[in-house]
Amino acid sequence: MSANTAVIGPELRSWIETPAGSDFPIQNIPFAIFRAPGRTPRPCTRIGDTVIDLKEIADAGLLASTGINKEVFSQAALNPLLNFGKTGVRRLRARLCDLLREDVPELRDNTELRQSALVPLAQATMLLPVEIGDYTDFYSSREHATNVGTMFRGAENALMPNWLHLPVGYHGRSSSIVPSGVAIRRPMGQMRPKPDEPPIFGPSRQLDIELETGFITYRGKPMGERINVDEAEDYIFGMVLFNDWSARDIQSWEYVPLGPFLGKNFGSSMSPWVVTLDALEPFRTEGPAQDPMPLPYLQPRGSHSFDIQLEAALMPKGGRETTVCRTNFNHLYWSMAQQLAHHTVNGCNVRAGDLMASGTISGPSPDSFGSLLELTWRGTKPLKLADGSERKFLEDGDTVVIRGHCERAGLRIGFGEVRGEVLPAR
């Protein structure tokens, strides 16, 4: 592992079996919280299809050199670990890399510890990795914002006047964020399907997905101070996949004048594995050119986007998956560094474990749109699924799966998936 970038060299291999094409080679070393029979919820990492219990390794004294108290590895959330900041997490990843590489016998040849520390993925239940204090959802895809604006305001007014000058966002609800695999119930609410008639109450008829990513923060600066754009990534722990389920009919009736509320806060789904920015470093790339030039506090030096391939699939109850979208994180107009700099420019403080979501990530082509609202163009162009059925919006029993990975020169770093089934309204 490089002392400067903390990137694990592509030549390294682990003594733990890693299937070809796995999202989780030794170069990844993500972090998560799991539970398994006989074990309380606790931190872990992963190689291939094997979960590594960090409490077992810490209790054996093998993580003492990281300077992280072993009690941290008994906690049911990663927040205590995040208090050690980027430097502490880098030390931990470096130590885990040493323990897991194929030519280091320290853990490899300790049969008893290896048996207690290694858990087959099939025996693990993955939980939310952090206790999320605050959640902010941005609106940072120009293509998505343009598509939605065109639908509702016309092409000449697609982007609001402020959109090219700042990362638009709103504060969401953290209590209803759930881990992958937890079902989402169709929300009830007010809608106005006929604009010349009064609103009605009932289950949403336009339930949608939003293909997003999110980043989780380390502890920021004190309230009243700001994180500048060039130091912003020092306050970002890592990234997750995110599905911000949306009830478009509820949302379109309620959002004026204050923005999303009940159309969004009924549920959001998050992938369990937090992939660090150090793991993503080999895939760093330029984002879209920004014109007009942002104000100085939003002008970063260097590249702050990543080449992350993303896709969303829809599967009817008992049916086969149909991939409905393929897009890329690098389509985002506003970077994570710019989002965090803007979020704190007024002195807003962020805490360890806060979640910032990207907003729907859409690309330039119709098959790269990150929501059904766009893919079906507000229901006017239904999608054809593998079983021959059609979808304008989600139906009860549908399962949505979002996946993401980076791949270059034989190295693949991925996030796994975030999955959720739609249950009928109560």
Catalytic residues: 144
Burial class (CB in 10 A: 0-12, 13-18, 19+), 297: middle
Give the C-alpha separation, 344 to 327, whole Å.
29
**Residue 329 near residue 305, CB atoms below 8 Å:** yes
**Residue 15 near residue 47, CB atoms below 8 Å:** no
| Two structure tokens written together for 33 | 């919280």
Q: Is the peptide bond before 257 cis (omega within 30 degrees of 0)?
A: yes
Burial class (CB in 10 A: 0-12, 13-18, 19+), 201: exposed
Cα–Cα–Cα angle for 248, 254, 260, rounded to 5 degrees = 70
Q: Which of 165, 90, 177 is nearest to 356 (CA)?
A: 177
Query: 338: which DSSP letter?
Result: H
**Residue 136 near residue 357, CB atoms below 8 Å:** yes
| Two structure tokens written together for 94 | 């470096």
* 216 SS3 class: strand
